[in-house]
Amino acid sequence: MPSTDSINAKIGVAAPAELCSDELKWNPWAYDAPREGARLPLYGAGASQWDTIPASAPVQTEIPERYRSMEPKEIVDRIGTAKARLGARLVILGHHYQRDEIIRWADFRGDSFKLSQQATSRRQADAIVFCGVHFMAESADILAADHQRVILPNMAAGCSMADMADEAQVLACWRQLGAALGGAGDGAAVVPVTYMNSSAALKAFCGERGGVVCTSSNATRVLEWAFERGERVLFFPDEHLGRNTGTKLGIPDDAMVVWDPRRPLGGNSVEALRGARLILWRGWCSVHARFTVAQIAEARRRYPEINVIVHPECRHEVVAAADLDGSTELILETIATAPAGSCWAVGTEINMVNRLAAEHPDKRIFCLDPVICPCSTMYRIHPAYLAWVLEALVDGRVVNEIVVADHVKAAARVALDRMLALPGSRAGAAARR
Ligand code: 13P
Ligand code: SF4
C-alpha cells in the first residue's frame, strides 16, 4: 500500500508475523566478525538468512564503536558533510534494493547493468562508493579507470546466489562436459554464459572460453549471441533466469537440464547432456524464491484489474503466471510510466517495491509477498557504514576497497565487453504474455 515510510521504519513497528525474521530489527553489525574472535557465518537477517554461506565469503569486521552508537541524525549529518567535502572526487551508486536511508545519497540509482555503465561515466571521481553487493562492486572495478578506487561500505554484502557457483565447481563442470560431449576436455561444444551475479573469477572464466556475461535486462539478447556461437550453453549461477530466458527463445523444456554441482555429471546422464541445448546451474535467489503462483492468484482475486510484474529470477511458473517480467530497472520504468490509477503487484525486493509505492501515490503498488523479507546482503549496508567509509575518504584513507586482480580483471573485461558491445542488449527485457 502507498506509504512514505521506509522499510526500516516499517520493520521497526512490525508485528512478528509481518516479518520473515525478528532479527530484521537487529543492527547489521550484530553479524560482523568481532575484531577478536570467531566470525558469525551468516548472510544476515532477511531472505538468505537460512542459506549456507561459503567459508570463503568476505567478512566485515566491526566498524568503530562511535559509528555503531551514533544517533541516526548524527549519521545523516556526517554523511552529508563528508559527501559535500568530497564533491566531484566521489560518486555514490545505489542499487534499487538499497534501503531508503542509503538511496537518498546515491548520485545514480539503477539495476546492475545500468550501474556498471554509470560507474564508468564519472571519470573525474577517484572514489566509487558502491551501495549494492560484492559482485556489482567487482564489476565496477573491472570497468573503472586505473585511478578509480571502488569501495563497498560493508564487505559482507555479498549475494547468496552468486555464492552458489564457485570457480572450482565450474571448472569441474567444464571438464566433465568436455569429456561427456566430446570437447577434448575443454568443453568446446558449449558456450559459457554467466549472470552478472557471479564472482569476477567466473566472469574471467567466460572471457577466456569464448563466453559472455548477461544481466536480467539483456539475457535474451546475450543467449541469442551465445547460440550463434555454439550448439549448447552452460548458464550459471541462476537456474531460473536461464530457464525463463530459454523459454522466451523457444527452447523446449526437455532441452534444458539442471546441473547440480554436488553430483557427478551434475546429476545427468551423458544422453541427457547430449540432448540438451541449455545446461542450467542449480542456483537461485532466496528473495525471488519467496514469490508464488498462489500469491499471484490472490492478488488477481482481490484486484481483478491488477498488473503483475516480476523479476526473471522468480521460478518459471511464477513468471509464466505474471503479466510482465524484467530487470529492476524495467520494473521501475514500467510502473513509473503506467497510467494514474493503475494497479501493480510486484515480485521483487521489498525496499524497491515500497519506494515505488511511495513515489507513485497515484497508483496502487504492492509486493506480492505479504511478509517483509529484504535481501539479507543488500540490507547489510546501513548508513553507519556509509558514514564510516566516507569520513575515512575525507581523512585520505580508503577502507573496504574492492580490488580485482589484474589477470582476472583482463579476462573478465573481455566477457563484460562482449555484453556491452551487443546492439540492443537492453531491448527485449520484458515479455508481456
Ligand atoms: P537487476 O540487474 O535486475 O538489478 O538484478 C540484480 C539482482 O541482484 C536482482 O536480484
Ligand atoms: Fe543476490 Fe537475490 Fe540479493 Fe539479488 S536479491 S543480490 S540475487 S540474494
SS3 129: strand
Answer for the pair 108, 133: CB distance below 8 angstroms, yes or no: no
| Assigned CATH class of 25-159+377-403 | alpha beta
Answer for the pair 265, 273: CB distance below 8 angstroms, yes or no: yes
CA of 159 to the centre of ligand 1 (A): 10
CA of 45 to the centre of ligand 2 (A): 13
Domain residue limits, the chain = 25-159+377-403, 162-285, 288-367
| Atom nearest to 95 CA in ligand 1 | 4
CA of 180 to the centre of ligand 1 (A): 33
For residue 297, the model assigns a pLDDT of: 98
Indicate whether residue 215 lines ligand 1 (CB < 6 A): yes
- 363-413 tens-digit pLDDT: 999 999 999 999 999 999 999 999 999 999 999 999 999 999 999 999 999
- 171-222 tens-digit pLDDT: 999 999 999 997 644 445 799 999 999 999 999 999 999 999 999 999 999 9
Q: 162-285 has which fold? A: Rossmann fold (3.40.50)
CATH numeric code, 288-367? 3.40.50.10800
| Atom nearest to 311 CA in ligand 1 | 3
Indicate whether residue 313 lines ligand 1 (CB < 6 A): yes
Gap between the Cα atoms of 98 and 375, Å rounded: 9
Q: Is the pLDDT of residue 70 over 90?
A: yes
Which protein residue's CA is at the shortest distance from atom 4 of ligand 1?
Answer: 111
CA of 132 to the centre of ligand 2 (A): 10
CA of 112 to the centre of ligand 1 (A): 6
Indicate whether residue 357 lines ligand 2 (CB < 6 A): no
Report the predicted TM-score, pTM, of the whole model to 2 decimal places.
0.95
Sign of CA dihedral 114, 192, 168, 50: positive
Cell numbers standing for residue 101: 536511508
